[in-house]
Amino acid sequence: PGPHNLTCVSYKHPSVRGTLGDAGGAVAGAVRCPPGQCCVGIWNRSHALVQGCWGGRGDACPSATCAPSPAGHPGSSVLLCLCHGHLCNGNATGTATATGTAVGLG
C-alpha cells in the first residue's frame, strides 16, 4: 500500500541541472503525488536543492516527518529525507537538526 493523495512541497534550486519530474522552478510550490509515492527533500548545508515526490515504494518512507540523514559518502554535505506526511518535505526536523548536522535547515 503506501500513501494516497499525498501532497509534497515541489522545488528545484536554480543550481540543479536537468529535469526532475514534477519538481518546480526556483519558486516553491506543491505537487500531488501518484498513489504509493512519498515526499523527498534533498539539501546541502545552506539551502534546499530538490523537493518533490519520491518514485520509490511508499514503505521506503516510514516517517511522517522529514528527519534528514547524510546522503552519499560519510561526511557528505548533502542531506536526504523521505517522508509520508502532507507537505512533510518542506521542513527538516528531528535528530539531524538538533545535532547541528543540518545547519541552515528548518
CA distance 54 to 57: 8
Domain 7-83 has CATH 1.10.287: no
pTM of structure: 0.73
What's the pLDDT score for residue 44? 87
Q: How confident is the model over 90-102, as a mean pLDDT? A: 46
Query: In degrees to the nearest 10, what's the CA dihedral of 80, 84, 85, 86?
Result: 90
33-75 pLDDT per residue, tens: 988 889 999 998 778 899 999 887 656 788 899 988 888 777 7
User: How far, in Å, CA of 75 to CA of 95, rounded?
Assistant: 16
For the chain, which residues make up each domain, given as ranges? Answer: 7-83
Q: Torsion over CA of 90, 77, 19 and 11, rounded to 10 degrees?
A: 20
Query: Quick one: pLDDT band at residue 22, thresholds 50, 70, 90?
Result: very low
- Which pLDDT does position 93 carry in this prediction? 60
